[in-house]
């Protein structure tokens, strides 16, 4: 029963996180097309820019919808949230680049490879960060 309580907000977190992730994936693809991300550096740049936008959306959505922090959260908690997201971004960057270059580029068309190489680690990281955010950022929510 205690485990159920721990994950009681998880379905909302996944729904909100999924929507933000989908928006971020689409933004990454759009940014990639705009900057012609034909090199690893440009591809990673498109991920970073999309992630910055995604972090902002994620903070707002999780604060107001998932964890219902009506009074908001302190600047320190916002900075912790951003740090968790940046760590997630770094993990996503490393995994996405390696997944794309070492596996997916050999099996999929380039644009699909780029999309899946970003989507898979982004989703995995979102699962891990749920518990961190729940207990560190929104523990009283």
User: Residue 141 above 50 pLDDT?
Assistant: no
Q: What global pTM score does this model have?
A: 0.68
Phi then psi dihedrals of residue 57, to 5 deg:
-60, -40
Counting residues of the chain whose pLDDT is more than 90, the rounded percentage is 23
What tens digit of pLDDT does each residue of 68-92 get?
Answer: 777 778 889 889 988 998 888 899 8
Task: Tell me what pLDDT residue 3 has.
Answer: 59
Instruction: Please report the DSSP string for the chain in residue order.
Output: -HHHHHTTTHHHHHHHHHHHHHHHHHHHHHHHHHHT--SHHHHHHHHHHHHHHHHHHHHHHIIIIIS--TT---HHHHHHHHHHHHHHHHHHHHHHHHHIIIIIHHHS-HHHHHHHHHHHHHHHHHHHHHHHIIIIISTT-
Which tens digits make up the pLDDT trace of 36-46?
988 889 988 99
What is the rounded CA–CA span in Å between residue 128 and residue 133?
Answer: 9
Measured CA to CA, the distance from residue 107 to residue 89 in angstroms comes to 25
Place of tokens 């999929």: 108
Residue 55 has pLDDT above 70, yes or no: yes
Position with higher pLDDT, 89 vs 141: 89
Other Cβ atoms within 10 Å of 136 Cβ, number? 14
Neighbours of 88 (CB within 10 A): 22
Taking residues 48-73, report their average pLDDT.
86
């Amino acid at each position: 029963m205690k485990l159920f309580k721990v994950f009681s907000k998880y379905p909302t977190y996944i729904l909100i996180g999924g929507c933000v992730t989908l928006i971020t994936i689409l933004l990454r693809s759009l940014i990639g097309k705009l900057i012609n991300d034909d090199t690893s550096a440009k591809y990673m740049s498109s991920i970073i820019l999309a992630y910055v936008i995604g972090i902002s959306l994620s903070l707002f959505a999780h604060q107001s919808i998932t964890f219902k922090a009506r009074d908001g959260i302190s600047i320190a908690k916002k900075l912790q949230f951003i740090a968790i997201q940046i760590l997630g971004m770094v993990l996503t960057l490393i995994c996405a680049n390696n997944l794309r270059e070492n596996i997916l580029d050999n099996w999929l068309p380039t644009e699909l490879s780029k999309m899946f190489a970003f989507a898979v680690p982004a989703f995995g990281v979102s699962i891990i960060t749920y518990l961190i955010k729940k207990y560190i950022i929104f523990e009283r929510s």
